[in-house]
Chains A and B, each alone.
Chain A
């Protein structure tokens, strides 16, 4: 454990130092607010595509996907597929025209296209909420990572990420962040690919196949439970218990756990023999190997609705992410922006193979995570399990560096997006207000981070994507392609969809699970809300068609005509 802690700490420190080093290298160029935010627009397509992929690969993609695959099975791989598909939609509908509009943030776009300061303010509010929902899983992922590696309290991870991101955004601005982001994409890719290759070789040498029944312990395993929790046992299992179990104190006696739910006290240690079936945390489903490999959402109310709704949220939400859209401003023209976006699916596909692999191997080698519920830690635990000793520690160090690259790059991107929006909308621009905005962007999620306790990272990111799919995505699509969108229609639609999505997200976050159709809608409202928002925007715009802004035709021509045809 100490070896792992040292390796992980060293690699994380190296990453942080390199990040800040890169940041200060770019600082010399960043003198004015414009420099700070737009990186002088001199970034090549591949470099910018790396930066965009890097921002998109957050804690959810890095840790969450593997955890979901471990816990829920193959069907959760739908989410990465939908995420990559969302970028295809982005290429098709958004990047080119949005870049030609010349707007830096999505609020700028709304004001420029619709000529209304009120719509601008509404959109800015939406940007903040999406960003905050997006920051929560980053903090939580950092907390889990640091806790699993070093045993530090959860808030230590939050503080580390916030500190690094503050130094970066306050000193360098976007120029350094573009470089940092692009480098970090390749750091992340190496950090998952190298251990994955090693693990595949070890797995083949080991010769274990995917089990047909429920997951079992491959060797005698001691599990230390950190917080009091309920676990579900599927078959009678003899264990050695030290600590509190079902309200009784044990001190190293053998106890037979019957097949029902049991409560394990904080600090209890359970020693499971080899081949025992793994108890599952009460909130996780128990799947046999066959059911796990089959993609279908079992064990929930209205599984098909939830599946389609989540897929739609990820598909459409990807189109409306403010920190991704801002990236395209660093391209010189609409064509370059489109080419950049077209490279992103390739880079993302390359990355997403690996979390899927980790989740699958995790079922064989780290099934105890199903009992502790720390499924987000799959990637971090797996190398040590397959390769004990120094090699394993080095691999864990590499993975930890990649994980922190994920937290830092995504957090930086979101913070720049919120700070840019807030500083231009409320504080009226300038370097100083950009910095105030950055502090504001980080402070809010830090205050509510404790509520996100039991949620997994991927679920939290889906929340952010749902808000985006129900507010900014319809605004963008209609604003870019439909001449008759009115400020009133856009404003009402954004308030309606964004508001409801934020409320359902908050209910899920603070009030916990429910059942029936209400639960299904609260968990994944996108399939109902997103079409409703489109309908509201179109309906209100048509009802008050006189208020179509006079600039609509010119704006549309400017967004869709190639630059050389408009500006000789």
Chain B
């Protein structure tokens, strides 16, 4: 089982992220290689090594009625969020990293649930007449009715917390927290 503490934080440590998020030289420039300077002359083309965006710029994704996608980013700043909006390769890499991290966390929780449920029939080997507690109930009864439930509550809360922290890290990374 993967340890979700490390996997939840994966987006932070992944790839070239620290170099791009909020890097000063990039702010102020338009993200699009094909934009012409208002003065008339074409600016020197900026080459983004990690993200061959030409293809995307040539074939902008079609607008969908059910997708609130408002076209390419036109504001003053440029950061990874722009890549996410424009569906570039770099944006896709970031999205995929987050999805993988979230999937690993979910698999951890799912594995825990499956293992616990798979072990339940082993309760048949607990001595059946072991009555415990003030109300004299059989031990397997107590385990099934009362003792497993806190584990589920804990697992659900932990999963929600880990997934949220991974999302928060991601939002901070792309500068939109």
Please report A residues at the B interface, Cβ cutoff 8 Å: 74-75, 77-78, 80-82, 84-85, 87-89, 91-93, 96, 102, 112, 200, 203-204, 209-210, 212, 290-291, 293-296, 304, 307-308, 311, 315, 335, 338-339, 341-342, 344-346, 349, 352-353, 356-357, 360, 481, 551, 553-554, 556-558, 560-562, 564-568
Interface of A is mostly: helix
B110 near A92 with CB under 8 A, answer yes
Interface of B is mostly: helix
Chain A nearest CB from B28 CB (Å) reads 18
A345 near B164 with CB under 8 A, answer no
CA distance A560 to B171 in the complex (A): 12
B55 at interface, CB cutoff 8 A = no
B144 near A561 with CB under 8 A, answer no
A338 near B163 with CB under 8 A, answer yes
B113 near A352 with CB under 8 A, answer no
CA distance A204 to B134 in the complex (A): 10
Q: A339-B160, A342-B160, A356-B144 are in contact. Are A85 and B152 (CB under 8 A)?
A: yes
Please report B residues at the A interface, Cβ cutoff 8 Å: 61, 64, 66-68, 81, 84-85, 87, 91-92, 95, 98-99, 102-103, 105-106, 109-110, 113-114, 116-118, 120-121, 123-124, 126, 128-129, 131, 135-138, 140-141, 144-146, 148-150, 152-153, 155-157, 159-160, 163-164, 167-168, 170-171, 174, 176-177
Residues of A within 8 A of B106 (CB): 92-93
Q: A93-B106, A204-B135, A560-B99 are in contact. Are A356 and B174 (CB under 8 A)?
A: no
Closest 10 A/B residue pairs (Cβ): A349-B149, A293-B138, A77-B144, A342-B160, A294-B128, A92-B106, A296-B124, A92-B109, A557-B95, A562-B167
Residues of B within 8 A of A346 (CB): 153, 156
Closest to A566 in B: B84
A565 near B91 with CB under 8 A, answer no
Not counting A296-B124, A481-B99, A554-B87, a sample of 19 additional A-B residue pairs whose C-beta atoms are within 8 angstroms of each other reads A74-B144, A78-B121, A85-B116, A88-B155, A89-B113, A91-B109, A91-B159, A92-B159, A210-B136, A315-B114, A335-B167, A338-B164, A339-B160, A349-B152, A554-B61, A557-B92, A560-B102, A561-B95, A565-B81
Residues of B within 8 A of A78 (CB): 117, 120-121, 144
Q: A293-B129, A345-B149, A557-B95 are in contact. Are A209 and B136 (CB under 8 A)?
A: yes
Closest to A203 in B: B135
B84 near A210 with CB under 8 A, answer no
Residues of B within 8 A of A567 (CB): 68
Closest to B174 in A: A565
B149 near A84 with CB under 8 A, answer yes
Residues of B within 8 A of A295 (CB): 120-121, 123-124, 140, 144
What are 14 A-to-B residue pairs whose CB atoms are below 8 Å? A78-B117, A80-B144, A81-B117, A81-B120, A88-B159, A92-B163, A295-B120, A295-B124, A296-B121, A338-B164, A341-B156, A344-B156, A346-B156, A566-B84
Chain B nearest CB from A52 CB (Å) reads 13
Chain B nearest CB from A75 CB (Å) reads 8
B156 near A88 with CB under 8 A, answer yes
Cross-chain pair count, CB within 8 angstroms: 173
B128 near A290 with CB under 8 A, answer yes
Residues of A within 8 A of B81 (CB): 565, 568
B141 near A74 with CB under 8 A, answer yes
Residues of B within 8 A of A564 (CB): 171, 176-177
CA distance A74 to B123 in the complex (A): 10
Per a CB cutoff under 8 Å, which of A87, A88, A210, A553 touches B92?
A: A553
CA distance A567 to B157 in the complex (A): 27
CA distance A531 to B148 in the complex (A): 26
Closest to B172 in A: A565
CA distance A84 to B151 in the complex (A): 10
Greatest chain B CB density within 10 A among A200, A344, A551, A561 is at: A561
Q: A209-B136, A290-B129, A560-B102 are in contact. Are A87 and B156 (CB under 8 A)?
A: yes
Residues of A within 8 A of B61 (CB): 554
CA distance A81 to B152 in the complex (A): 9
Per a CB cutoff under 8 Å, which of A85, A291, A561 touches B117?
A: A85
Per a CB cutoff under 8 Å, which of A341, A352, A556, A558 touches B145?
A: A352
A360 near B66 with CB under 8 A, answer no
Chain B nearest CB from A204 CB (Å) reads 7
CA distance A78 to B114 in the complex (A): 13
